[in-house]
Structure 1
């Protein structure tokens, strides 16, 4: 079994390749060529503290394994990421443990790549102003992915804690070096009203994106809320979006963003389109420049397995990581 740490994973795989891998994994999932049991979300002894277990199998990509993720919101005070994870890969022929890979970077990378794929298919081709709501661990890769598929020039950044937003801007300016103009704004509303593309990456229990704030033609990516008690986007956004695209219908239906309007009967499950189905049939939608579009993701384990497996393949070719010869 090969053990690969976060630094090694970052050196082995970046966003351009991840976008292509995630697109293939989405299509395999929507074609029924992947196995993804619903993940187990276990709430721990304090509110908003979770452990999550996500198995997945993508035969077409030779990826089999499970991801374990923890969400500990107070980790920021310890100098640690709020979200941590590890991925165990198995050999799909023998079942032998093949790789143990840091899951924090893989989660950030595949979540960003998922947003990038959705933005590639749903946002206006000329979309240039991005609103980032929330500057936690997922935000940097969200920014990188959107910039990889659209000609972004301006980024409006909002976080409840202003100093964290300031630190985030300093971080991404140094890390990416992209020719972007950053605007630190005082409310989510200010950011959303000016944006062509919106990314909400929070664990908010109340909407930080409202339909009344959206410009005609805006595209919304909601990637933070992962259970019914969280809701980043208001129901009117879901109801009035021209297209409501999700990573997986069953998976997305557990988040407040989708679960609440479903339960109220404001939308039906047939109003949801999986991104993999759109990848498989690029003519499935016809978008005008005034249509509001929505992508809702809670994360599919097939993405983790596919991206982590690519890291493992590269590591084996290059001799990267530590090899453990015993179980």
Structure 2
């Protein structure tokens, strides 16, 4: 059995192909694919049967020897026999997938309205904050990327690190969240905030927001007034109805799924409207990024690079399917999804562990 660690995953990832995979997968959701953990995608090229296990321990970074707060591993199974083919570390692919999804949404909802990306406001300087900063620098060429974090020193450290790494963009630590957001073209929130960190009055007309964080609450980073005065898009409608039910109860109207925007089935918002991409995570996005890498007789490295002898592939180290985060747990639902993995609209679940 092959085990692929995060560094080996990182060695074969690049932004262009990750972006293309995410954009393609967003369109395909309407074909009745399972969005669950376990997950299955029936496709000649990207087909996969897999299960992702995620743990989230908020105090891990406070340990004497700090550990990642969120950890993920993926088990990939043979689609014909059900045998386990590989266990793969899922942290890197989860990071890249989430940032690429935000980049796709920004392209579709902001840039395709003929707007310029000049200032990015990034709130939250953890793992997702950093990968978003790198991805958005790569794709959009912001002249200024502002960084805010609850602990200012962490934002300052990240700004210094990224300024050393990239010379064409100015990374700036901003001590106040309002100052960070003011006049920003694009905003990314990647925090565990339990109360709003972005208010409607701070956001300029026509700005785009990628709401990525907030842990299990999903929608606590933005104020109610901001949601009420924005066009809100989601990655997967069935999952959004469950995980964002609190917003629906407030009367927030969801514009639709990103896949429909990409496919041209849903008109984009007017240029003066604030748009919000509420990132919940959806399984096929990671299928497309990952499953190109694993076959019964060959190991296909992401997007076209393959070898016929699995032993020769150890230096290339492919990765398979990953699912994404969810809330709550119901063993009946998980068991049923495990058996009926071809059914549509099953969503992803994450065990609420205590240790």
On whether the aligned pair clears a TM of 0.5, the verdict is yes
1:262 aligns with 2:248: yes
Of the structure 1 ranges 312-321 and 224-233, higher mean CA displacement relative to structure 2 is found in 312-321
Q: SS of the residue aligned with 2:154?
A: helix
Q: Which residue of structure 1 aligns with residue 14 of structure 2?
A: 14
Output the CA distance in 2 between the equivalents of 1:184 and 1:319.
Answer: 42
Q: SS of the residue aligned with 1:244?
A: strand
Q: Which residue of structure 1 aligns with residue 160 of structure 2?
A: 170
Contact 1:192 1:209 in 2 (8 A): yes
Q: Which residue of structure 2 aligns with residue 46 of structure 1?
A: none
1:307 aligns with 2:289: yes
Match of 2:240 among 247, 252, 261: 252
Q: Which residue of structure 1 aligns with residue 203 of structure 2?
A: 214
Contact 2:22 2:285 in 1 (8 A): yes
Q: SS of the residue aligned with 1:186?
A: coil
Of the structure 1 ranges 243-252 and 12-21, higher mean CA displacement relative to structure 2 is found in 243-252
Superposed displacement of residue 226, structure 1: 4.3
Output the CA distance in 1 between the equivalents of 2:288 and 2:215.
Answer: 21
Q: Which residue of structure 1 aligns with residue 121 of structure 2?
A: 131
Superposed displacement of residue 64, structure 1: 2.3
Match of 1:200 among 168, 186, 189: 189
Contact 1:83 1:137 in 2 (8 A): no
Gapped regions of structure 2 (runs ≥ 5): 295-299, 319-355
TM-score by structure 1 length?
A: 0.84
Output the CA distance in 2 between the equivalents of 1:250 and 1:34.
Answer: 12
What do you get for the CA RMSD once the two structures are aligned? 2.2
Output the CA distance in 1 between the equivalents of 2:150 and 2:242.
Answer: 25
Contact 1:126 1:151 in 2 (8 A): no
Contact 2:261 2:268 in 1 (8 A): no
1:143 aligns with 2:133: yes
* The structure with more radius of gyration: 2
Q: Structure 2 vs 1, CA of residues 82 and 173 (structure 1 numbering), >3 Å: closer, same or farther?
A: farther
Of the structure 1 ranges 309-318 and 187-196, higher mean CA displacement relative to structure 2 is found in 309-318
Superposed displacement of residue 133, structure 1: 0.3
1:290 aligns with 2:272: yes
Contact 2:159 2:172 in 1 (8 A): no
Superposed displacement of residue 230, structure 1: 5.7
1:116 aligns with 2:103: yes
1:152 aligns with 2:151: no
Of the structure 1 ranges 57-66 and 133-142, higher mean CA displacement relative to structure 2 is found in 57-66
Q: Which residue of structure 2 aligns with residue 66 of structure 1?
A: 51
Equivalent residue pairs, number:
298
Gapped regions of structure 1 (runs ≥ 5): 38-53
Output the CA distance in 1 between the equivalents of 2:67 and 2:110.
Answer: 34
Contact 1:25 1:58 in 2 (8 A): no
Superposed displacement of residue 139, structure 1: 1.4
Q: Which residue of structure 2 aligns with residue 88 of structure 1?
A: 75
Deviations 1:168-218 (A, max 9, x none): 22333455x251111211111111113100000011110111111101110
Superposed displacement of residue 102, structure 1: 1.1
Q: Structure 2 vs 1, CA of residues 249 and 227 (structure 1 numbering), >3 Å: closer, same or farther?
A: farther
Q: SS of the residue aligned with 1:89?
A: strand
Q: Structure 2 vs 1, CA of residues 171 and 58 (structure 1 numbering), >3 Å: closer, same or farther?
A: farther
1:233 aligns with 2:222: yes
Superposed displacement of residue 279, structure 1: 1.6
Output the CA distance in 2 between the equivalents of 1:153 and 1:89.
Answer: 41
Superposed displacement of residue 33, structure 1: 3.9
Superposed displacement of residue 3, structure 1: 1.2
1:55 aligns with 2:38: yes
Output the CA distance in 2 between the equivalents of 1:254 and 1:76.
Answer: 30
Output the CA distance in 2 between the equivalents of 1:98 and 1:14.
Answer: 24
Superposed displacement of residue 98, structure 1: 2.2
